[in-house]
Amino acid sequence: MDFSNPTFYLQVLQIIWIDLLLSGDNAVVIALAVRGLPENQRKWGIWLGAGAAVFLRIIFAGIISYLLNVPFLKVVGAVLLFWIAIKLVVGEEEEEGDIAASGNLWKAVWTIVIADAVMSLDNVIAIAAAAKGHYELFIFGLLLSVPLVVFGAT
């Protein structure tokens, strides 16, 4: 990493932008899942849900770091994305699940964990791609996403 290189700062700005865009969905899920809890349990739900999101991002970061080095995996991913894009253009309708408010703290946290398992993956992949092999930038991106999720959920 060369701090005098403008490319470094461009990568940092890309990671910040990615985190701003992709951490919002995690924050919304947490807020929706805990909205039916009493005030004191709502705060616990937010912190436990955000903790679960962070834990999942760390696990995904390790897996993605390994997978990005597998030959031809990016080509397979590109083909899958192309297939998904075609399905979206054709207009195949899928039912969207609604995130129900929960009156139980552990049920709300479980809802958050399941939703974050799906939504954290896109964030980690995007950060890994923007970091371009620099683990320092990758860790920076993961650390930046934590406060965005927590404060966004509140």
* Within a domain: 112: yes
Count how many domains the chain has.
1
**Which structural domain, as residue segments, surrounds residue 73?**
7-153
- pTM greater than the 0.75 cutoff: no
* Within a domain: 1: no
Q: What is the pLDDT of residues 104-116, one digit of tens each?
A: 788 888 887 887 7
What is the per-residue pLDDT for 100? 59
User: In terms of residues, how long is the chain?
Assistant: 154
At 1, the pLDDT band (50, 70, 90 cuts) reads low
At 86, the pLDDT band (50, 70, 90 cuts) reads confident
What is the per-residue pLDDT for 91? 67
- Give yes or no for a contact between 31 and 131, defined as CB atoms under 8 angstroms apart: no
* Within a domain: 121: yes
**Mean pLDDT computed over every residue of the chain:** 79
What is the per-residue pLDDT for 153? 75
Residue 92 has pLDDT above 60, yes or no: no
Residue 94 Cα distances to 85, 91, 128, angstroms: 14, 9, 29
- Give yes or no for a contact between 16 and 128, defined as CB atoms under 8 angstroms apart: no
Cβ of 114: how many Cβ atoms within 10 Å?
Answer: 14
* Within a domain: 149: yes
* Within a domain: 67: yes
Q: What is the pLDDT of residues 2-50, one digit of tens each?
A: 777 888 888 899 989 988 888 777 788 888 888 888 888 888 888 888 7
Residue range 141-148: average pLDDT?
83
**Taking the mean position of all CA atoms in its chain, how far away is CA 88?**
22
* Within a domain: 103: yes
What is the per-residue pLDDT for 99? 59
* Within a domain: 72: yes
* Within a domain: 17: yes
Residue 78 has pLDDT above 70, yes or no: yes
Residue 121 has pLDDT above 80, yes or no: no
At 139, the pLDDT band (50, 70, 90 cuts) reads confident
Q: Is 27 exposed, middle or buried (0-12, 13-18, 19+ CB in 10 A)?
A: buried
